[in-house]
Amino acid sequence: MSDPRLPLDGVVVLDLTRILAGPYSTQILGDMGATVWKVERPGSGDDTRAWGPHGKNGQTAYFLSVNRNKRSIAVDLKAADGKAVIRRLAAKADVVVENFPPGKLDALGLGFDVLRADNPRLVMTSITAFGQEGPLSGEPGYDLVAQGYGGIMALTGPVEGPPYRVGVPIVDLTTGMNAALGTLLALRAAERDGVGQRVDISLFNTHLSWLANVAGNALMSGEPSPRLGNAHPNVAPYEPVPSSDGWLLLAVGNDGQWERLLELPEFAALRPRTEWATNNARVLDRAAMIEALAPIFATRPRDEWIARLKAIRVPAGPIQRPDEALRCEQTEATDMVVAIDHPTVGTYETVATPYRLDRTTVTEYAPAPLLGADTDGVLAEALGMGADEIAALRDGGALGG
């Protein structure tokens, strides 16, 4: 039976982030029931409100994709009265999430030491490119630059040719996930100890953390990591192979799967090749092995191969475009694309949360907010401000909307 209360019901997040990593992290928290007050610049708001080309009625697809389940308040962080509003909101919040350059909030008088003075249990999660210290700590945070520094671009792309970035902003997105996780860890400690703390999450450290087996290989061998195109450094065959009508993915993860592959009649001629009996041997002789497999796979259509391989429990699949993945049967069966009603856009579709909890289930989503739409409501509810006080702040330039 579902519990109407989501896991983070009662948690209040003051969101001082913009663009992607930060908003993605706070969207995760909002999806799970946290109240998220998204602070935006009066007049322009989050940069991604203007990042097209896809949008409708003044709302961009980019902004809509990472800002649902939030309330937007337009506050000028440079105005003295605006800073006072932020300090008062932070005193009511459980969490502040920010992605300003190191030292910027301190310079504005809104650093962690200032905000926690009135709220000892406060958790502040800071998202930066390279963290709060080190020779690169002052560098701006861009996913492309982080992909270059962290190693993934040196691994991605054809064996010969230019490096490629990953086709989605993978460092931003995984950093957002780490920020959400780090926030929850600090919240648990604050709940236990009664004392908050600062959480330092960087694009660079996040990237290094998911180099995983590639990092292990490099650290143990002391050798440069090779670019292998679509091949795997530790498993073979584990890459696309051409069929008669397109590419299919072949993922032979162990020797038993290799043996079952060779049981298919088309591969009978390869059965005597005992030098490929073990995974490590196949990795070391990958090029010759793939050269032997390719003409066999070229004899039948992709979907026929996939069906036959799955029948013998050898992992295989197609290479779908994103639009195909979003409309495939698996996506539909798991309700991973949901429709949301927006006050100006109308109904738009977005990808649902991947976190599935069988008791505290997410059943609906609020749309990404209009710029400053919740300013008056949040200040009235959270701080007890009356209409005259809010109007005076707006007239003085501290508030927008």
Q: Is the pLDDT of residue 20 over 80?
A: yes
Q: SS3 of 74, please?
A: strand
pLDDT on residue 4: 81
Q: Which of 95, 99, 100, 132 is nearest to 116 (CA)?
A: 95
DSSP code per residue over 129-192: SS-SSSTTTTS---HHHHHHHHSHHHHSS-SSS-----SS-HHHHHHHHHHHHHHHHHHHHHHH
Q: CB under 8 Å to 160, separation ≥6 — which residues?
A: none
* Catalytic residue from among 172, 245, 255, 395: 172
Q: Is the pLDDT of residue 278 over 80?
A: yes
Task: Extract the tokens encoding 270.
Answer: 């390869």
Residue recorded with tokens 């919740």: 374
The backbone region for 347, taken as left when phi is positive above 0, alpha when psi lies in -120 to 50, beta otherwise, is beta
Determine the Cα–Cα distance for residues 239 and 212; give it in Å rounded to an integer. Answer: 19
Q: Determine whether 172 is an active site residue.
A: yes
Q: Which CATH superfamily is domain 238-321 in?
A: formyl-coa transferase, domain 3 (3.30.1540.10)
CB 166 within 8 A of CB 156: yes
Task: Report in angstroms the alpha-carbon separations of 49 from 52, 270, 306, 369.
Answer: 8, 57, 42, 11
Q: Is the pLDDT of residue 206 over 90?
A: yes
CATH match of 12-210+334-395 with 3.40.50.10540: yes
Task: Extract the tokens encoding 306.
Answer: 């996939």
Q: Is the pLDDT of residue 48 over 90?
A: yes
Determine the Cα–Cα distance for residues 393 and 76; give it in Å rounded to an integer. Answer: 10
Q: Which of 283, 292, 295, 288 is nearest to 242 (CA)?
A: 295
Query: What's the rounded mean pLDDT across residues 204-214?
Result: 97
For residue 265, the 8-state DSSP code is G
Q: SS3 of 218, please?
A: helix
Q: Is the pLDDT of residue 109 over 70?
A: yes
Q: Is the pLDDT of residue 114 over 60?
A: yes
Q: Write the burial class of residue 184 (CB in 10 Å: 0-12 exposed, 13-18 middle, 19+ buried).
A: buried
Tens-digit pLDDT profile for residues 58-68: 999 999 999 99
Determine the Cα–Cα distance for residues 280 and 255; give it in Å rounded to an integer. Answer: 10
Q: Is the pLDDT of residue 312 over 80?
A: yes
Query: What's the rounded mean pLDDT across residues 269-284?
Result: 96
pLDDT on residue 401: 75
pLDDT on residue 2: 61
Q: Is the pLDDT of residue 211 over 80?
A: yes
Q: Which of 23, 22, 29, 36 is nearest to 7 (CA)?
A: 29
Q: Is the pLDDT of residue 1 over 70?
A: no
- Span(s) in the chain for CATH 3.30.1540.10: 238-321
Determine the Cα–Cα distance for residues 353 and 105; give it in Å rounded to an integer. Answer: 31
- Span(s) in the chain for CATH 3.40.50.10540: 12-210+334-395
**Band of pLDDT at residue 141, cut at 50, 70 and 90:** confident
Q: Which of 230, 271, 229, 267 is nearest to 249 (CA)?
A: 230
Q: Which of 152, 18, 142, 133 is nearest to 72 (CA)?
A: 18
Q: Is the pLDDT of residue 3 over 90?
A: no
Tens-digit pLDDT profile for residues 340-390: 999 999 999 999 999 999 999 999 999 999 999 999 999 999 999 999 999
Q: Is the pLDDT of residue 118 over 60?
A: yes
Determine the Cα–Cα distance for residues 260 and 313; give it in Å rounded to an integer. Answer: 8
**Mean pLDDT across the chain:** 97
Task: Extract the tokens encoding 7.
Answer: 């896991």
Query: What's the rounded mean pLDDT across residues 136-142?
Result: 92
Query: What's the rounded mean pLDDT across residues 81-100?
Result: 98
pTM: 0.95
Task: Extract the tokens encoding 310.
Answer: 């799955």
Q: Is the pLDDT of residue 277 over 60?
A: yes
Q: CB under 8 Å to 31, separation ≥6 — which residues?
A: 68, 69, 353, 355, 362, 365
> Do you know the residue count of the chain?
401
CB 272 within 8 A of CB 331: no
Query: What's the rounded mean pLDDT across residues 180-193?
Result: 98
Q: Which of 81, 65, 82 is nearest to 73 (CA)?
A: 82
CB 383 within 8 A of CB 14: no
Determine the Cα–Cα distance for residues 105 and 24; give it in Å rounded to an integer. Answer: 20
